[in-house]
Structure 1
């Protein structure tokens, strides 16, 4: 049993450790398991903790990072569809899910608490960046996160990973090279809370609920990306996006409700489609990358585990409220 004194020391670090493990693993559920594993390992090693060698926070990051590295041994990376091959030109292609792929999952902003308190620097939790990180070898990924995101000194990272500062600096350089061009520049991406972003997402919601494909397309950048894990297809450009949305409304009807949320410090919506009984059934979670030019990417998740992580009600009543 974990005593109150131990919990008082480690408890304040749980949220940031969850974010750290998510960055390493690309899965909210696995990150939660690894945080629990970290706390159990810390409890077992509490008598050996030396405050003269490291702060409690640094000690916990060492345990968590090494737990993640152990968990990643022999595992396939977690991709998005755009990381597996080129875009499709066929917007009528079968929407067959690839259930054998361990897809990247989004992170609910509700789990962040106060992002400022967790030092969630602008852009460091974006889906595109997390997806790019998954391509890196696990140790390079760890070094990149500890040095560039969390800003641990090289010597401290070396101690965490039981290596040398020179090896840390070398791994960091290789990791930075591996990420070049992997995601939009920081200044090119807007985030929730910006009035212009909120207004654009409101217009997207209005157009979607009206099944107005032309209105949706008008809000996109010219090279907008649409991808839909666990379906491995993805589409590039306004034309393909629009043709696919024509298919969505033809298949599912024009009656939708959208509920605002946020994921990976990006705007997001839950989409509900009206069923035969008049209730609106949870269909997808959509996570937007918004730039000054419009919506540059929409990652559309249709996964019960993702819905559960975001605590999304499975049904809205005819008035748009949660049901059941």
Structure 2
């Protein structure tokens, strides 16, 4: 048996497990849904493989020895102890009944303007990879720019002034469609699916904002090396990539999606031009068919650098500062105004 601890048990996870079992007769795959992945240091999880933690969590777990070196059968990776599998790509989503495409902000800093006060939905950093990425990116970029991480807290506080609610990441598009806010920072996968499902939402590329990060896969020290490596190869290759795209999830590219050139180190610095794809199918680099929304995300949406290891080392503390010093403190008289979701 191969036990795979996952962040979610969705169609991709279930179909990949079935594909692995078909390719390895006599081996069963157990999917173990785990709320905290990787779990806190010192807390054991009876699994062979971790799948779905964001790059910051993976880097932290690799740094304190919770992850084994990648097995020989795993695909090449820019990291010694974990493999990028899926990309989280932030976009600016908007309710089409309230905001036109031309008026939709393409730089997160535009959301500081009083025009957007009480109109912004954000993924809750307490429980979402995208929310964590936003906090980590802003804190690190502003610290680099000014030499003082308090500048990052100030940046997050200014953004908080426009927030009407912090929402669980997977629920943010339905909240936007229902009119709880008029704009939202969202994962491309959720925005593209919501638009395809006919909800009154659309999205634009963020030319200034948090860059893409990856979700990864890693092997635990006591795992069956051969089986774990074979599972990783299936997830990062085929049919794993096709399964991801079919569910509006972006496969990671060869660079892992972090730390590539672009931007000037400022939180919200422009990093180039981007646009979204419409209907249609394009040819993928490996010769397979790829929906144009995925192709556009891979080729055209802007990518800015993020220092994953640095953010990972400080993220828990920075999230604490955001919770105490920024959340609900963005404007006079707004202390604790955000309802817990």
**TM class, shorter-length:** under 0.3
Q: Which has the bigger relative contact order, CA under 8 A and spacing at least 6?
A: 2
Considering fraction of residues, name the structure with more helix. Answer: 1
Query: Which protein shows a greater Rg?
Result: 1
TM-score (norm 2): 0.26
